[in-house]
């Protein structure tokens, strides 16, 4: 996979960072992006210090101006794109449907769906020209588990899956595959620090007890890791995965 170029959105931290590092280890030049410049620069420089190739580019997916500036700058600097990993996503409004403001749907969809639509529209022509491309969208098992109080998120991931399957049919003849990975719970810093304490207090247990319960609830008796998602992404982004397209791959330890 040497000499390939990949964009990984939301790679300043969490799952996206693990994906960026994994792809870079295979000799792929990775464009690390997100809004946190300091973290993004740190990821890119860590990759470069260990012999890989990476560059940080600012990108705010909720802003049409930022998306336009990003795609313009990317096309100016690079004339090739082999892999697009649409990883960035937001949890959106947490609460019951009856109290969810309609605007919350737009906010969640703007990052989790609309920005991916725009990036694909802008960048697919580069892939079509070279008759090769791999697009991997990071969805969530929420599309089928549909947990309560998370309606905008659940809807956005279901929409992303439908987008994935539709786009796959439109670009397949150009050598471009489009797949989605649906992670189960992954213990990123955000989940550990922000979600776990809330889940634990709701269940009346300590965060450690909550972790134990979540682990026991998996088929594999282990929680899914950032590296698990990165490994699956690497596979779908490889030339060897040419016959796999329009698929939603659950990487969720059986949950």
Catalytic positions, written as ranges: 153
Which of residues 122, 190, 207, 218 is near ligand NAP by CB under 6 A?
190
CB of 21 to ligand NAP, least distance (A): 13
Distance, CA of 52 to CA of 29 (rounded, Å) = 7
Nearer to ligand NAP, 176 or 196 (CB): 196
Residue 35 interacts with ligand NAP (CB under 6 A): yes or no: yes
52 counts as binding ligand NAP under rule CB under 6 A: no
Site for ligand NAP in 70-89 (CB under 6 A): 87-89
Which lies closer to ligand NAP via its Cβ, residue 71 or residue 87?
Answer: 87
Closest distance to ligand NAP from the beta carbon of 50 (Å): 20
42 or 205: CB nearest ligand NAP: 42
**What is the secondary structure of 96-161 as a DSSP string?**
-GGG--HHHHHHHHIIIIIHHHHHHHHHHHHHHHHT-EEEEEE--THHHH--TTBHHHHHHHHHHH
Contacts of 57 (CB under 8 A, 6+ apart): 31, 32, 33, 40, 70, 73, 74
| Residues from 192 through 251 that contact ligand NAP (CB under 6 A) | none
| Residue 62 near ligand NAP by CB under 6 A | yes
Residue 236 half-sphere exposure toward CB, CA atoms < 13 A? 29
What is the DSSP-derived secondary structure letter of residue 92? -
138 binds ligand NAP (CB under 6 A): yes
- Minimum Å gap between C-beta 175 and ligand NAP is 26
Task: Please provide the distance, in angstroms rounded to a whole number, between the alpha carbons at the two ends of the chain.
Answer: 32
The dihedral through the CA atoms of 23, 142, 59, 171 has a sign that is positive
Look at the chain and count its residues.
255
One residue of 5, 59, 151, 251 binding ligand NAP per CB under 6 A: 59
> Considering the complex, what minimum distance in angstroms separates the CB of residue 13 from ligand NAP?
5
Phi then psi for residue 63, to 5 deg, are -115, 120
Of these, 7, 14, 120, 253, which contacts ligand NAP (CB under 6 A)? Answer: 14
Residues 142-171 that bind ligand NAP (CB under 6 A): none
Do 11 and 30 contact (CB within 8 A), yes or no?
Answer: yes
- Using alpha carbons, list the distances in angstroms from residue 235 to 1, 107, 134, 249: 11, 31, 10, 11
Pick between residue 28 and residue 223 the one whose CB is nearest to ligand NAP.
223
Of 20, 111, 124, 136, the residue at the interface with ligand NAP (CB under 6 A) is 111
φ and ψ at 136, to 5 degrees?
-125, 120
What is the binding site for ligand NAP (CB under 6 A)? Answer: 10-16, 34-36, 39, 59-62, 87-90, 111, 138, 140, 183, 185-186, 188, 190-191
């Amino acid at each position: 996979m040497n000499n390939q170029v990949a964009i990984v959105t939301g790679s300043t931290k969490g799952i996206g960072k693990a994906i960026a590092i994994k792809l870079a280890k295979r000799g792929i030049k990775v464009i690390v992006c997100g809004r946190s410049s300091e973290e993004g620069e740190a990821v890119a420089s860590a990759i470069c210090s260990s012999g890989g190739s990476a560059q940080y580019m600012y990108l705010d997916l909720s802003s049409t101006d930022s998306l336009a500036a990003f795609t313009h700058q990317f096309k100016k600097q690079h004339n090739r794109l082999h892999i697009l990993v649409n990883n960035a996503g937001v949890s959106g409004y947490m609460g019951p449907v009856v109290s969810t403001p309609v605007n919350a749907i737009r906010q969640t969809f703007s990052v989790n769906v609309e920005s991916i639509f725009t990036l694909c529209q802008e960048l697919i022509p580069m892939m079509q020209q070279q008759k090769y491309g791999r697009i991997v969208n990071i969805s969530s098992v929420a599309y089928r588990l549909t947990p309560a109080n998370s309606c905008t998120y659940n809807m956005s991931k279901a929409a992303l899956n439908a987008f994935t399957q539709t786009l796959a049919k439109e670009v397949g003849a150009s050598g471009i595959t489009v797949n989605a990975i649906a992670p189960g719970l992954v213990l990123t810093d955000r989940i550990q620090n922000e979600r776990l304490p809330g889940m634990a207090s709701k269940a009346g247990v300590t965060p450690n007890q909550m972790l134990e319960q979540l682990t026991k609830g998996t088929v594999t008796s282990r929680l899914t890791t950032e590296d698990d998602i990165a490994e699956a992404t690497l596979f779908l982004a490889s030339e060897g995965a040419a016959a796999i397209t329009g698929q939603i791959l659950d990487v969720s330890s059986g949950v």
